[in-house]
Structure 1
Amino acid sequence: MSSKFFDKLSQNFMEILNDKDDFNPNENNVKAIIKSSVSAQIFDVILKYIYGGIVNLENVETRFSFDLMLAANKFELDELTNKLETHLIDSKASWLKTYFSLIYRAIFNENNFKKLENYCNDIISKHPSFIFENSDFNSLPESALVSLIKRDDLQMKESKIWDYVIKWGISQNPTLPTNLEEWSKENFLTLKTTLQKCLPLIRYFHISNTELFDKIISYKKILDKQLCKDIIQHLAAPDRPVKSIILPARSFVVIEFPSQAEIPKEPFSTIISEEHAAEISSWIDFVVAKVKGTDDILGGYNPLAWDNTYYNGKWMKTKDSFIFSLKNNTVQNSILGRVKDSKLAICNVSKTLQNYIGPHFTDFYLYSDYSDFTLDNENYCSIKVIFTKNL
């Protein structure tokens, strides 16, 4: 991608020079740029943009484009920042999903990437586990948590949202006693202050009475007095009106499948049987290949996302990848090989090899001199090296 920018370039540059926090003149009235976190390579691109209005991203890794966007934001180069943000969303969705946690925290720490925020939140609203069940959940910026729980379409039970909000709030105050019964008035006040932006976004009156009693009442001291009074009243008389604001219930997506009578009776697949499909249907993102002249099916699961942007190729680390073999149309003879060396589980091959090598699971990958895996016999499956079992 090569882009030209002129419309706001001079305006952005003058704003940079007028920023006394980042640019201080010396005795010769020369202004020094104080941005120690920006690499020399990225700064070189920034300079070419400032003086020439051109940014060339041909043959650069996606991570470089992302870091360039962060740097452009630091330099208050709004036009370049917006262009790169749009470029990542439109062209690098696979990479964004692979490094979702990193990206999510970075954009909310800067708090200036609204398009990426919306893009990420749209994904999380449908798949909350991406963030809420992540091991780094407690380090989530407050602004990110608030932006999520304010959404009406967050696909999570309200009592579960409450659990995560409390968990996050307590983690921000490690000195709080682990036993709630030992909490003082000051302890509850500390948690209330930490969660002051989150608590108004909980849909209390859409939580079952049992869960209100079991989960909310224990923390009633962090709630406003009127809200606490209304919740207690709601427990006793749910039909009686309350004074507190009642937020609408979150909208849950219901997927309707056609009845069996509406499904045409056609062959399920020319490669795998319905029994095989039932076995691997929950694996979500997988590669399947049939061994010529046999009924054997080989495949692999990639929990990340394939990324074709690496100029020199790159090994991806994951402990969740696996390869499999479904033999002779019988599930009983199936083989599953899990990762032994997580650092070498998945290979995103270099640009120069992408016409020949397909999905690459180290011990198993697709290869063709003709860019067509059905035209030769070069596909590769090794004796177990990275995975635990032979296929």
Structure 2
Amino acid sequence: MITQQFLPYLSQHYLSALNNNNDFDVIIKIGEGNNYKEFEAHSFVLFTRSKYFRAALSKEWVKKQDNKMIFHKPNISPKIFEIILKYIYGGIVEIDTEDPEEILDLLIASDELYFEEILDYLQDIFLEPIKDSLQDYIVLVINISIRYPTFNVIKDYVDFTIKYLPHIIFFSKEFYNLDREILELLLQRDDIMIKEVQLWDCLLEWCKFKVELNNSNIEEWNTMDFIRLKESLQPFINHIRFSHMTTSDFTDKVLPYRASVEEYIYDIIKKIFFTSIRDMIRLSFNFSVEQPKRRGIDSLLINIKECILISCWIDNKSNDYYSFSTFPYNFHLLYRASRDGFDNSTFHKLCDMKGPTLTIIRVEGTNELIGGYNPLDWQSPPDWVEGITRDSFIFKIDNQDEKYIPSKPYIENSVASKFDNGPNFRDDLTICGSRCHCEHFGYNKRIISTELNFVMADYEVFKVVKS
């Protein structure tokens, strides 16, 4: 059997019927007030193409006037319905705007009218223009993901953002517009990549905003101010994992607000001379020691998504072998050049004899992300000392194009140490001060295509610890 489809011609003919045919038997009244318009259509097309209209234009529901079926739809705008009607007749979705709110209106209307086949496409179109300014839209996007559970593309995007990029939510100016119920759901999650003390700070600011406590100097607060904050904190307090804070974090960030959480810290004050502050925190806040700790990484360059990927490479697994719940390593920041300085002596002071380490580099100008893993200790000998290992690797990570290049050594002496150099993966990746040298020498792939010598915008070194 030979089959050839000529669907564009079919689409063209049906659109011609919509634009030129006078044999309409349905009047659809769309919108209301100044934003109102009547559309004419053919019932057989609506019945054939839409489950929604099959039900809405049934004999039990429809009204007739001059032998034409009359249908009202005030909650959709004429502009949006015109796009939908063209899709019904011609199978064409024609969008002439990048305004996220208009695209969202089209998405919601398509969902309401049961055009399930175009929902994923419209979600992609909605998300694309807002990705670069997601902080401005994050509350809107979260609300959509909860209100419309069938929007799987948006739901997955929100879930990824919550897990791996929570700063976009918690440090956005839109954060204060989060509904209480949504904030409570966020605080209950185990997989959110943020420090507990940062969550506490953000929660405090949200609660202060909601009860209009604008004075940042709490020494000037009166009793009623602390009571108002206490009432605002009450639904959330049990979701903050105080036992996972450091002693200094708890002392500096929590104790100043003891009047707003006094019933929770009474035991701390009572037992302060009898037990460690960490034990007191657990006792007084009634948190189980078994409560899972939120996993995160203190980095300006990578997030947990990259940590999971690098964990796969460390264990010689495929890129998707580990997930958030299974990857077996923690990455503890030892050194950040933009914070500690680019001099080699500081690198050695902070990173020597620490065991396995991960080095992450952002290239000046191109923002390329490259790095290397050393399973051995870094050292500071006066002359070059080569490390004998085949378990090291260097890599490039390109999240935008989803290109990940791990490069394994084909020489045994794949790393080297010297007091006046930084991390050294032979000539394939060598750091000295703020400059980096990268060519193809002892590893199986070259990880960067730019000139051999370049300047780094920043670099970080992490101690790699088995969980």
Which one is further off, 199-208 or 188-197? 188-197
Shift of 1:34: 4.5
Using the TM superposition, name which of 212-221 and 265-274 deviates more: 265-274
- Does the aligned pair in 2 maintain the 1:12–1:78 contact within 8 Å? no
The structure whose Rg is larger is 2
Match of 2:159, as an amino acid? N
Aligned to 2:265: 228
Contact 2:207–2:233 (CA<8 Å) still a contact in 1?
yes
Cα 1:269–1:189, aligned 2, differ >3 Å: closer, same or farther?
closer
Q: Which residue of 2 aligns with 1:86?
A: 120
Alpha-carbon distance, 1:171 to partner: 1.8
1:182 aligns with 2:215: no
Q: 1:239, CA displacement in angstroms?
A: 4.5
Is the Cα contact below 8 Å between 1:9 and 1:77 reproduced in 2? no
Percent identical residues: 20
Spell out, residue by residue over 1:189-208, the C-alpha distance to the aligned partner (whole angstroms, 9 max, x if none). Answer: 32233334433321111111
Q: In the TM superposition, what is the alpha-carbon distance from 1:210 to its structure 2 partner?
A: 2.0
Sort the Cα spacing of 1:75 and 1:133 in 2 relative to 1 into closer, same or farther, 3 A. same
Letter in structure 1 aligned against 2:139: R
1:57 lines up with 2:93 in the alignment = yes
For 1:45, the aligned partner's letter is I
Alignment of 1:1-391 (within 5 A): 6-7=50-51, 10=54, 33-35=73-75, 39-46=77-84, 52=88, 56-58=92-94, 60-61=96-97, 63=99, 67-70=102-105, 73=108, 77=112, 79-80=114-115, 85-88=119-122, 94-109=128-143, 111-114=146-149, 115=152, 116-223=154-261, 225=263, 227-229=264-266, 236-237=275-276, 238-239=278-279, 242=283, 244-246=286-288, 247-252=291-296, 253=304, 254=307, 255-256=310-311, 257=358, 258-259=373-374, 261=389, 262-263=392-393, 264=409, 266=440, 268=446, 271-276=449-454, 278-279=455-456
Query: Is the Cα–Cα contact under 8 Å of residues 159 and 211 in structure 1 kept in the other structure?
Result: yes
Kept in 1, the 8 Å contact 2:136–2:173? The answer is: no
Residue identity opposite 1:57 in structure 2 = V
Aligned residues: 259
Cα distance, 1:183–1:42 mapped onto 2, change above 3 Å: same
SS in 1 for 2:114: helix
Tell me the secondary structure at the aligned position of residue 249 of structure 1: coil
Q: Which runs of 5+ in 2 are unaligned?
A: 1-10, 12-47, 63-69, 297-303, 312-357, 359-372, 375-386, 394-408, 410-427, 429-439, 460-467
For the structure 1 residues 131 and 79, does the alpha-carbon distance in structure 2 shift closer, same or farther, using more than 3 Å as the test?
Answer: same
Q: Measure the CA separation in 1 of the matches of 2:120 and 2:259.
A: 44
1:93 & 1:72 partners in 2: Cα distance? 11
1:211-262 CA-to-partner distances (Å, cap 9, x unmatched) read 112211222333372x333555786444477372434211234455532853
Superposed CA RMSD in Å reads 4.2
Matched letter for residue 266 of structure 2: K
Task: Tell me the amino acid that sits aligned with residue 114 of structure 2.
Answer: E
* 8 Å Cα contact 2:141-2:158 kept in structure 1: no
Q: Cα–Cα, structure 1 residues 84 and 218, in superposed 2: closer, same or farther, change >3 Å?
A: farther
How far apart are the structure 2 equivalents of 1:77 and 1:165? Answer: 35
Structure 1, gaps ≥5 residues long: 19-29, 283-391
Separation (CA, whole Å) in 1 of partners of 2:90 and 2:260: 53
What letter is aligned with 1:202?
I
Residues 58-113 of structure 1 show CA distances to partners (whole Å, capped at 9, x for unaligned) of: 4544546x634445537971734x65553255577643422423442223445413
Would the aligned equivalents of 2:111 and 2:119 in 1 still touch at CA under 8 Å? Answer: no
The alpha-carbon deviation at position 158 of structure 1 amounts to 0.6
Q: Is the 8 A contact 2:187 2:236 kept in 1?
A: yes
Residue 168 and residue 105 in structure 1: after superposition, are their counterparts in 2 closer, same or farther (change >3 A)?
same
Please state how far the C-alpha of 1:159 moved relative to its aligned partner: 0.5
Alpha carbons of structure 1 residues 221 and 83: separation in structure 2 relative to 1, 3 Å: farther
Question: Structure 1 62/218 Cα, relative in aligned 2: closer, same or farther at 3 Å?
Answer: same
Pick closer, same or farther for the CA change 1:207–1:280 going to 2, 3 Å.
closer
Question: Does structure 2 retain, via aligned residues, the 8 Å contact 1:189–1:222?
Answer: yes
CA contact (8 A) 1:125 1:154 kept: yes
State the TM-score, normalizing by the size of structure 2. Answer: 0.45
Q: Give the Cα–Cα distance (whole angstroms) in 1 for the partners of residues 237 and 192 of structure 2.
A: 16
SS at match of 1:279: strand
Structure-2 separation of matches of 1:87 and 1:149: 31
Query: How far apart, CA to CA, are the structure 2 residues paired with 1:84 and 1:224?
Result: 53
